[in-house]
Structure 1
Amino acid sequence: MKTQTISWRVDEYPVDALIQEGPATFRVSGRAYSDQRIFELEQERIFQKTWNFVAHESEVAKPGDFKTAHIGTQPVIVTRGQDMALSVLLNRCVHRGAVVCRERSGNTRAFVCPYHAWTYATDGRLTGITGRDDPNGYGPDFVQPQGMQRVARVENYRGFIFACMDPGVVPLEQYLAGGAAQLLERKLQQSPVGKIRLTGRPFVGTYEGNWKFQAENIVDGYHFMYTHKAFVNLQQKYGDSTGDFGVHKGDNAAKMRLLRARGNVLGSRFGHGINQKPAAEFEQLFEGPHSEYYNQLSEKYGRDELEWIAGVGAACIFPNFGLIHNQLRVWRPIGPAMTEVTVYPYALEGVSDEYNAGMLRSHERFYGPAGYGAVDDIEVFALNQQGLSATQNDWLILERGMHNEKPLENGEIEGLPSSETVHRAFWRSWRDLMTAQGRAVQ
């Protein structure tokens, strides 16, 4: 079903009026999800001004490796040069504007435009113009472009590659500092050698809803028992026997609800949201078939920290990147009511094939194209977008857990597991960027 796009003039309705915030109030107008002009402003003021995840280093490990990605609506190519340097290029020929690279990933010595065969090196330099010196070609006064536009900033944090079009953006390490960096570290620490690798081709899908629904949902601790009720019933009946591999622990709905009430959420001033829980049935891990693996990690990090490393952690790295269980997730805004989501399962380096296979089976069971979880979420996102057409009462309520929040010394806010602390952090950052025309700054 197609959803309605509501239009209004931004100069007549200030963007900051889309959020109502008070001591016990936090509400967001549905227009923030549905308006075309707001969507266009997000591309300018959010996606071009903040760090966007574009690749994992395992995807571009060798000279000549490349993958295509997006920064908001803008297509880019992530490349590894012959000197092993990383570049992120706007995927647009400087001649007539065609997309130069049409493959999702691969290895090449050069990029050749499909329109007139202008050729570029893997670092974006223009190295060949067909018919350059022909009588009908280009004259002596022709000013030859240098090559494809390079994205201003590219940084690699522990294998996670981010890019930003604004050269003045805050350093990536500072952008991720706090709960986001801790979550990334804990995901890597599940590997005895501190590394992951992406495996196989990603799962790519679209839904008829705004990109912010996915950003909010990946760290939403409130919806699981209700949106995924059919899966809860399946888990209660079959448990690990269908390949859960301990990811969604709980012998029954009551126990699952109790386990999901453990842990906390963290909201960052840069808009990141973290939802983390310690491992369920932790002591049993040292008696099971992978006890050697857990003992190895325990010796390295200690029992207290391992309980969190082996637990369940999810993150929304503002604005386009998520991690949950053994997957990376990237969402791409296509329009106010259309979003593409790419899911990358990953394997841990230094663990047994059996362990990685178990994690992959669990991923397929809940998150894969035929799994139980993704279809539930996509349906809800579409229902959310459809509901926005009812505008007489236009405010979405994001006030859960406000009374139990705790400000931390590092500027983050901590909430209880199903609190909407993470959502409020997202929207505060959204508001700051959209109203100040600024960037992610100190």
Structure 2
Amino acid sequence: MSKSVSTMVGPQLLSEGRLPRDIFWSQEIYQLELERIFARAWVFIAHESQLPHTGSFLTTRIGEDEVIVVRNRDGRVGAFLNSCPHRGNRVCSAEVGVARGFVCNYHGWSFGLDGSLRGMHESGSYDREPGFDRSRLGLTPVAQVEGYKGLLFATFDPSAPALTEFLGDFTFYLDVMLDNDPGGTEFAGGCISSILGCNWKIAAENFAGDALHAGWTHASGAEAMLGGPVATLGDEANESYHVNTNGHCWEFNLDGVGNAATLGDKRIMNYLREQRGAFEARLGATRAKMVGSVSSANVFPNFSFLPGQNTFRTWQPLGPHKTELRTWVLVNCNAPQEVKDAWRKGAMLTFSPSGVFEMDDGENWEGSTHSNRGFVTRQQPLHYGLGLASRVDHPELPGNVYRGQINDANQRAFYHQWSKMMSSTDWAELLDKGPHDDTDR
């Protein structure tokens, strides 16, 4: 499988702008993704604001592995498999809450906030068994948990590089959302969960770089929200780019408030205009224009967001043809409450299960997945050839930079990283392959 995946989506194929369809349909490829991507990559698990107190917890998934994320008594955040080591039952069925520990419903095994085994029903029976060692029967922890400016990530692989190395130059762009205000950020409200009948990669790559669809797919939604079409993208008079590093991707122009405008709320627009000077002082002139601009981004593998609409989401795989979408709204802690409420309401109007834009996307992603059920159809490669040879050098923007917003450069970079991870047996081999090899030069 390693060799076939490497040749299936290799640099040569991507340099020609082609992609095979099997990667969206094959169960065998999907199982390898769970092993080589989700069991090894740094994956977003929570925002610090979701865990304000000792015992605050939430449940999530990394790939299809169920995980409890909890703030321990020492103030640090830990993450553990949500599976009792006795018979495998979940030890926590709630989505969020505050707890002193976790107890398995099946046989009464109880665990502390640090994951350690604290007690059992009929514990004396166990303690009389020779060689019984409670210290070896706690909840299985993830290998590493690290944060970046409020966002928390985890990896199951103890040999994975530090989070900052995994993110690389992409932190320069993440700061547009996470560090434009000294008060930091928080998630406003709760989580919206919905199920899509699509492959997780189709949604992730859309946010990585597919600005092309906006003017066509979302034309009716833009008419409803704005009374007119989505702003023209890729205009040479308006600077626009694709940037990526290590498979993390951001496409944007520098219009300042384009995405925020689609929410149709003057309170948000006024807030962004009032803060523009502070953004520029903190981020510089170029990145200040990215705040609220027409743009989208994906942190490899499955963590996406829309600057301006402030919707943050994960594409949780549930098989090759099914994805759970979990959505939150990110706001600056120092923003007025009415502005936070406006962003939350705006996200519900646009990018929620009943939102004017999200329904358009979901239908297209499901169609793009299920068309591949046919054997003959799967033999036809897909076209990812926009923007070949569009790489440019930029005096301010780090990473791999490409000219224009109407481009497939970021999607090619996303699949290049996917191919590298799928064809590498461990992090040592993956790191030996070096950073993203630019196939677009």
- Tell me the TM-score normalised to structure 1 length: 0.86
- The reply to whether residue 429 of structure 1 matches residue 383 of structure 2 is no
Cα 1:354/1:18, change in 2 over 3 Å: same
Post-superposition offset of 1:261 = 6.6
- How do 1:77-116 residues align onto structure 2 when only pairs under 5 Å count? 77-116=68-107
Partner of 1:337: helix, strand, or coil? Answer: coil
> Which of 239, 243, 254 is equivalent to 1:278?
254
Partner of 2:423: helix, strand, or coil? Answer: helix
> Which of 241, 246, 259 is equivalent to 1:264?
241
Post-superposition offset of 1:120 = 0.3
Post-superposition offset of 1:234 = 2.2
Structure 1 gaps of 5+ residues are 1-9, 238-250
Tell me, yes or no, if the aligned pair for 1:330 and 1:342 is still in contact at 8 Å. yes
Cα distance in 1, alignment partners of residues 393 and 419 from structure 2: 20
Tell me, yes or no, if the aligned pair for 2:214 and 2:230 is still in contact at 8 Å. no
Deviations 1:342-396 (A, max 9, x none): 0011222112223223322321221023211111111111101121123434311
Question: Which residue number in structure 2 is paired with residue 14 of structure 1?
Answer: 4
Question: Which residue number in structure 1 is paired with residue 357 of structure 2?
Answer: 373
Q: What's the C-alpha RMSD, in Å, of the aligned pairs?
A: 2.8
Partner of 2:190: helix, strand, or coil? Answer: coil
Cα distance in 2, alignment partners of residues 28 and 412 from structure 1: 21
Cα distance in 1, alignment partners of residues 329 and 197 from structure 2: 23
Partner of 2:250: helix, strand, or coil? Answer: strand
Tell me, yes or no, if the aligned pair for 2:219 and 2:229 is still in contact at 8 Å. no
Tell me, yes or no, if the aligned pair for 1:271 and 1:428 is still in contact at 8 Å. yes
Deviations 1:81-119 (A, max 9, x none): 011021111111011011111111111111001111100
After TM superposition, the structure 1 stretch with the greater mean CA deviation from structure 2, 363-372 or 108-117, is: 363-372
Post-superposition offset of 1:34 = 0.6
Question: Which residue number in structure 2 is paired with residue 315 of structure 1?
Answer: 297
> Which of 178, 194, 198 is equivalent to 1:205?
194
Cα 1:289/1:395, change in 2 over 3 Å: closer
Cα distance in 2, alignment partners of residues 281 and 214 from structure 1: 24
Number of corresponding residues? 413
Cα distance in 1, alignment partners of residues 84 and 252 from structure 2: 43
Cα distance in 2, alignment partners of residues 255 and 410 from structure 1: 26
Cα distance in 1, alignment partners of residues 242 and 234 from structure 2: 16
Deviations 1:255-293 (A, max 9, x none): 57759974211122x2111112223479x99xx744543
- How do 1:79-158 residues align onto structure 2 when only pairs under 5 Å count? 79-134=70-125, 138-144=128-134, 145-158=136-149
Question: Which residue number in structure 1 is paired with residue 338 of structure 2?
Answer: 354
State the one-letter code of the partner of 2:419: R
State the one-letter code of the partner of 1:307: K
Q: Percent identity?
A: 26
Question: Which residue number in structure 2 is paired with residue 5 of structure 1?
Answer: none
Cα distance in 2, alignment partners of residues 23 and 119 from structure 1: 50
Post-superposition offset of 1:235 = 4.0
Tell me, yes or no, if the aligned pair for 1:43 and 1:73 is still in contact at 8 Å. yes
Cα 1:66/1:254, change in 2 over 3 Å: closer
- The reply to whether residue 401 of structure 1 matches residue 387 of structure 2 is yes
Cα 1:255/1:166, change in 2 over 3 Å: closer
Tell me, yes or no, if the aligned pair for 2:47 and 2:152 is still in contact at 8 Å. yes
Deviations 1:17-51 (A, max 9, x none): 32262585032211111111111011111111110
Tell me, yes or no, if the aligned pair for 1:19 and 1:26 is still in contact at 8 Å. no
Cα distance in 2, alignment partners of residues 23 and 347 from structure 1: 37
State the one-letter code of the partner of 2:333: E
- The reply to whether residue 195 of structure 1 matches residue 184 of structure 2 is yes
Question: Which residue number in structure 2 is paired with residue 214 of structure 1?
Answer: 203
Partner of 1:200: helix, strand, or coil? Answer: strand
Partner of 2:171: helix, strand, or coil? Answer: helix
Partner of 2:107: helix, strand, or coil? Answer: coil
Post-superposition offset of 1:183 = 2.3
- The reply to whether residue 389 of structure 1 matches residue 379 of structure 2 is no
State the one-letter code of the partner of 1:162: F
Cα 1:226/1:303, change in 2 over 3 Å: same
Cα distance in 1, alignment partners of residues 406 and 368 from structure 2: 19
- How do 1:43-62 residues align onto structure 2 when only pairs under 5 Å count? 43-62=34-53
Cα distance in 2, alignment partners of residues 162 and 14 from structure 1: 30
Post-superposition offset of 1:328 = 1.4
Partner of 1:201: helix, strand, or coil? Answer: strand
Deviations 1:170-216 (A, max 9, x none): 111111121x21222110234x3241111222111111111101111
Cα 1:91/1:259, change in 2 over 3 Å: farther
Cα 1:143/1:428, change in 2 over 3 Å: same
Tell me, yes or no, if the aligned pair for 2:58 and 2:68 is still in contact at 8 Å. yes
Tell me, yes or no, if the aligned pair for 2:191 and 2:327 is still in contact at 8 Å. yes
Question: Which residue number in structure 1 is paired with residue 437 of structure 2?
Answer: none
